[in-house]
């Protein structure tokens, strides 16, 4: 088992597509070897720059990610793309559409694209995405782009992983911009006004600036608005330069370090929780015991505090 995991880890580091795909599947399935693999790869990580791309469906996220990827590849940087789309299962239309659109990179070994299933994740989608990002980092992808629809808490958690967050908006959103989630407003490091070839771009940009003037700048960074026409590859170079500028600012202000420490603090708590829960409840018999105790508490035969003490005692944790 162990030598083969070592070999697997080496192949991941070399960027071998099959080894990477297998590793992502292991992460998605929460297979025990995924943890061992990530442990071995961890020392090789911490070099990638993670950019989160979020916005409503149809705003052009996939198109933009595709264009940004091509930009980075033209600069000889290796690129990894993680597409998280809650509206589509693996074989669904949207993902297939993404695949077809990304086919321009199909024969490029410096580029790795993966669509993530979004349902049925043990331990949460954000955690799986974070682990896949680590994997791509270990595989030498300097630019990791994470596409996600900015709707639920899951998506917000995913975007929080990123070093730089792009929030996409398009003209014709009408009053939507007023109702835009405060959360999205706060996590955006750069606002991208895509489809700026469409009517109403000036108006949306004005509204956006008005709203942004109310947001406190973080460490002296005022989130800029960049206009793009992703489908025509317009504004993509300016956007990439703005992302690079943000990174420079981010590192100089030590904000990146602070963010990473915060991130790992949260991840450690999550890992601790899941391990302790595993130890406290054990296998199937623990689950049965939990259900029994819950019933007794619901019927007021037992108080919840004694029930928890009982679980801890029987698992040797107390």
Q: Which residues bind ligand GDP (CB under 6 A)?
A: 55, 57-63, 194-195, 197-198, 229-231
Name the minimum Å distance from CB 58 to ligand GDP: 5
**Nearer to Mg ion among residue 61 and residue 105 (C-beta):** 61
Name the minimum Å distance from CB 119 to ligand GDP: 18
Question: Binding to Mg ion by residue 143, rule CB under 5 A?
Answer: no
Tell me which of Mg ion, ligand GDP, none is bound by residue 188, counting a contact when its beta carbon lies within the kind-specific cut-off of 5 to 8 angstroms.
none
**Tokens representing residue 143 in the block:** 């630019």
Name the minimum Å distance from CB 197 to ligand GDP: 5
**Nearer to ligand GDP among residue 105 and residue 195 (C-beta):** 195
- Which span (62-70, 118-126, 233-241, 298-306) binds Mg ion, by CB under 5 A? 62-70
**Nearer to ligand GDP among residue 52 and residue 60 (C-beta):** 60
What CA–CA distances, in Å, run from 178 to 16, 185, 193, 246? Answer: 46, 11, 15, 26
**Tokens representing residue 149 in the block:** 């629809």
Q: How far is CA 306 from the centre of its chain?
A: 39
Name the minimum Å distance from CB 102 to Mg ion: 10
- CA–CA separation, 172 and 174 (whole Å): 5
Helix (H) or strand (E) holding 192: strand 190-193
**Nearer to Mg ion among residue 38 and residue 117 (C-beta):** 117
Name the minimum Å distance from CB 150 to ligand GDP: 10
Q: 3-class SS at 271?
A: helix
Binding-site size, Mg ion (CB under 5 A): 2
Name the minimum Å distance from CB 45 to ligand GDP: 27
- CA–CA separation, 185 and 274 (whole Å): 32
Burial class (CB in 10 A: 0-12, 13-18, 19+), 265: exposed
How many other CB atoms are found less than 10 A from the CB of residue 234?
Answer: 16
By CB under 5 A, name the one of 59, 62, 129, 196 that touches Mg ion: 62
Strand ranges across the sheet with 143-149:
111-116, 79-84, 143-149, 49-55, 164-169, 190-193, 225-227
- Whether the CB-CB separation of 174 and 56 falls below 8 Å is answered with no
Residue closest to ligand GDP, measured at CB: 60
**Nearer to Mg ion among residue 22 and residue 61 (C-beta):** 61
Which residues here bind Mg ion, judged by CB under 5 A? 61-62
């Amino acid at each position: 088992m162990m030598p083969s995991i070592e070999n697997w880890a080496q192949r991941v580091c070399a960027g071998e597509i099959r080894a990477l795909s297998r590793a992502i599947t292991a992460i998605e399935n929460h297979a025990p070897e995924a943890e061992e693999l990530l442990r071995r790869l961890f020392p090789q990580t911490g070099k990638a720059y993670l950019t989160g791309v979020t916005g409503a469906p149809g705003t052009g996220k996939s198109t933009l990610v595709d264009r940004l990827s091509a930009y980075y590849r033209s600069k000889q940087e290796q690129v990894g793309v993680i597409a998280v789309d809650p509206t589509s299962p693996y074989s669904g239309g949207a993902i297939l559409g993404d695949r077809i659109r990304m086919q321009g990179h199909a024969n490029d070994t410096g580029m790795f694209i993966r669509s993530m299933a979004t349902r049925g994740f043990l331990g949460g989608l954000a955690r799986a995405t974070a682990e896949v990002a680590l994997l791509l980092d270990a595989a030498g992808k300097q630019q990791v782009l994470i596409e996600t629809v900015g709707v639920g808490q899951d998506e917000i958690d995913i975007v929080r992983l990123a070093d730089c967050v792009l929030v996409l908006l398009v003209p014709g959103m009408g009053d939507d911009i007023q109702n835009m989630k405060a959360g999205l407003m706060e996590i955006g490091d750069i606002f991208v006004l895509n489809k700026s070839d469409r009517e109403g771009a000036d108006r949306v940009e004005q509204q956006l600036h008005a709203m942004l003037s109310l947001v406190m700048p973080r460490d002296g960074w005022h989130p800029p608005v960049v206009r793009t026409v992703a489908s025509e590859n317009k504004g993509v170079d300016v956007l990439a330069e703005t992302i690079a500028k943000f990174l420079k600012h981010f590192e100089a202000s030590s904000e990146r370090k602070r963010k990473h420490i915060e991130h790992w603090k949260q991840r450690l708590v999550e890992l601790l929780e899941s391990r302790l829960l595993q130890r406290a409840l054990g296998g199937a018999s623990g689950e049965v015991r939990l259900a029994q105790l819950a019933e007794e508490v619901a019927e007021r035969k037992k108080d919840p505090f004694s029930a928890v003490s009982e679980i801890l005692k029987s698992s040797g944790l107390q």
